[in-house]
Amino acid sequence: MYNKEDVYLEKIAPLAASLKKLCYREGIPMFFCAALRETDREMIYKNEMVSFGVAEVAGKDDRIAKMVNVIMGYDVVPHEPILEMEFGDDLDLGSYVEGEMGDSSSIPSSEID
């Protein structure tokens, strides 16, 4: 099974801490993630970050926050344009059955058979 936790703690953790400290001092948002080891059920990671807020940077496209969302278990959903639909005056409400779609008072009585 994969296990590099000792190497991380000995060689990489001090560098990651220095990098984080320097980025914080200089106001540079950053994100770092290392895979330490795996268990029978999951991979164990170590994450370090200086967020846009902590760095006092008003970023227009905060990708760091998006990466952290993925690490926290949120799904990645690609951006899709909003589908716009237009309905004409001949809207067919023939399939409407009172009680199935809620209160019929929201539909003008002239459009209900």
Q: Hey, how many other C-beta atoms are within 10 angstroms of the C-beta on 5?
A: 15
Q: Is 95 exposed, middle or buried (0-12, 13-18, 19+ CB in 10 A)?
A: exposed
92, pLDDT greater than 70: no
Q: What is the pLDDT of residue 102?
A: 52
- Does 112 reside within a domain? no
Total residues belonging to the chain: 113
Please give the average per-residue pLDDT across 55-84, as a whole number: 80
- Does 94 reside within a domain? no
Domain that holds residue 15: 5-71
Structure-model confidence comparison of residues 69 and 98, the more confident one: 69
- Does 93 reside within a domain? no
- Does 97 reside within a domain? no
Domain count, the chain: 1
pLDDT digits (tens, 9 = 90+) for 7-46: 999 999 999 999 999 999 999 999 999 999 999 999 999 9
AA identity, residue 7: V
CA distance 108 to 53: 51
- Does 19 reside within a domain? yes
- Does 87 reside within a domain? no
CA distance 73 to 31: 17
CA distance 5 to 11: 10
CA distance 68 to 31: 8
94, pLDDT greater than 70: no
Q: What percent of the chain has pLDDT over 70?
A: 76
Asked whether the whole model's pTM tops 0.75, one would answer: no
- Does 96 reside within a domain? no
